[in-house]
Chain A
Amino acid sequence: MPGPFAGFKWLALMNDWSVFAEGFVQTILLSALGLTLALGLGIFFGLLGTSHVKLFKLLNRVYVEFIQNTPLVIQIFFLYHGLPHLGIMLPVFVVGVLGVGVYHGAYIAEVIRAGVESVPKGQLEAAYSQGFSYWGAMIHIVLPQAKRISYPPLTNQAVNLIKNTSVLAMVAGGELMYHADSWSSNNLYYGPSYVVTGLLYLSLCFPLATYAKRMERKLEVSS
């Protein structure tokens, strides 16, 4: 009986490379759009968390705690299997973007909140004293400073988001993990399929993680 990594299995994979390429491209698209959504939600809810208005703070806490303390799989299942019962049918790609976007938005909200709170209060006061509005002060004074501190953890969130798009395989998400899974469950060539898939994720995540580490070291040096 041939081993799990027999040569002909690799050949079969190479013949069907376009299946993996398609999944890879979908994963990149899903990650890019998911990250955009996550950043938007994260900045919005993160700033709500820094507000002095109790209701805004509460909204931040509800979003962050609810999303961070339930599994991503359940959130995806809710979007994919739950919403249709309410008459909302979303294409699986949209489920993916919403799923990882909302999930990582909650983590990014905490990163943003911590970043903004790390900027001394005097910065906002100096900006106010010069006639800046709240948003003007945020955009020109506070957020650029919060950004420096937030970059490394934000990059880590981007890495996690890319990896977590693989959860979409459970609802036929059309991304890399799904294609690897369905290709190999047809021919049972699991070995090469999962190795290549793992390497493809690595090729996306490793450079980002390295970049984050380097920035972190730079921050330590400068502070």
Chain B
Amino acid sequence: MIKVQGVNKFFGPLHVLKDIHLNVDSGEKVVVIGPSGSGKSTLIRCMNLLETPSTGQIVIDGVDITAPKAPITKVRESVAMVFQQFNLYPHKTVLENLTLAPTLIKKISRDEASESGLAFLERVGLREKADAYPAQLSGGQQQRVAIARALNMRPTVMLFDEPTSALDPEMIQEVLDVMVDLAKEGITMVVVTHEMGFAKQVADQVIFMDGGKILEKGSPEHFFTNPEHDRTKLFLSRILR
């Protein structure tokens, strides 16, 4: 589903991604962990071309998005992203947030988009907030709306860029619950997070990044019980207390 091959990324003199190779199969749940500044957010942002790789190739569902004149807006319709800062559209109601792109970009009728939108709001437990504005919601509620907004595009891939990092501790669980529920489906998920419990629970593959490189990848069992790299051990010992 996602093939990352030999990707490097420079920000000026900064070499933030170093020769990244990664395969994500259809339906697979991949969790990317690592310290701040390790390049994990940059990597996931390359997967929908919010960042353009300096070199290397990324293929999504058979489409090379790093090729010149790649149909990137078309690819983005089926690769949804959930952001750390939610990025809901503040001038639109919750339901309008969900229906805007489906009606304008995918040309789905307003009624149909509203109907499915309300169903997704129901699923994240916020149907009664359909007519509220984002500013009237708590952080956890906003992030659940953002997930529903992503789902209403009917994506085949969901990218989560530290979805709980900006939340108050007591709101993290409600968002994770939605994500765990989502993971039961066939959708492909790539999640950058510091939530190790989530990684253990849903990941098919855990990726550990440090210094712009993938240091280690494997199943959660391998990863949390028997990590190879000293750097991974150190990171885990610090984060799992």
Give chain A's interface residues, CB within 8 Å of chain B: 120, 122-123, 125-133, 136, 140-141, 144-145, 148
Contact = CB atoms under 8 A, between A and B. Distances in A.
Interface in B68-90: 73-74, 76-77, 79-81, 83, 85, 87-90
B81 A132 contact: no
B70 to A, nearest CB: 13
23 contacts: A120-B87, A122-B83, A122-B85, A122-B87, A123-B89, A126-B83, A126-B89, A128-B48, A129-B48, A129-B79, A129-B80, A129-B83, A130-B80, A130-B101, A130-B149, A130-B153, A131-B74, A131-B76, A132-B104, A133-B73, A136-B104, A141-B89, A145-B91
B100 A145 contact: no
B180 interface: no
Contacts of A144: 91
A132 B83 contact: no
B63 to A, nearest CB: 13
Contact of B91 (A120, A131, A148): A148
B95 to A, nearest CB: 15
A144 B104 CA distance: 16
B87 A131 contact: no
Interface residues of B, number: 23
Given A129-B76, A129-B79, 14 more contacts: A125-B50, A126-B83, A126-B89, A127-B101, A128-B48, A130-B101, A130-B153, A131-B74, A132-B101, A132-B105, A133-B73, A140-B104, A141-B89, A144-B91
Contacts of A136: 104-105
A139 to B, nearest CB: 10
Main secondary structure of the interface of A (DSSP, over half): helix
B213 to A, nearest CB: 25
A214 B83 CA distance: 35
B50 A130 contact: no
B50 A131 contact: no
B85 A131 contact: no
Contacts of A132: 73, 101, 104-105
Nearest to A133: B73
B76 A128 contact: yes
Nearest to A123: B87
B100 A140 contact: yes
Nearest to A141: B89
Contacts of A125: 50, 83, 87
Contacts of A122: 83, 85, 87
Contacts of A131: 73-74, 76-77, 101, 105-106, 153
Contacts of A126: 81, 83, 87-89
Contacts of B80: 129-130
A130 B83 contact: no
B69 to A, nearest CB: 14
A145 B91 CA distance: 7
A126 B85 CA distance: 10
A128 B153 CA distance: 13
Interface string B22-37: 0000000000000000
Contacts of B105: 130-132, 136
A133 to B, nearest CB: 6
A123 B106 CA distance: 19
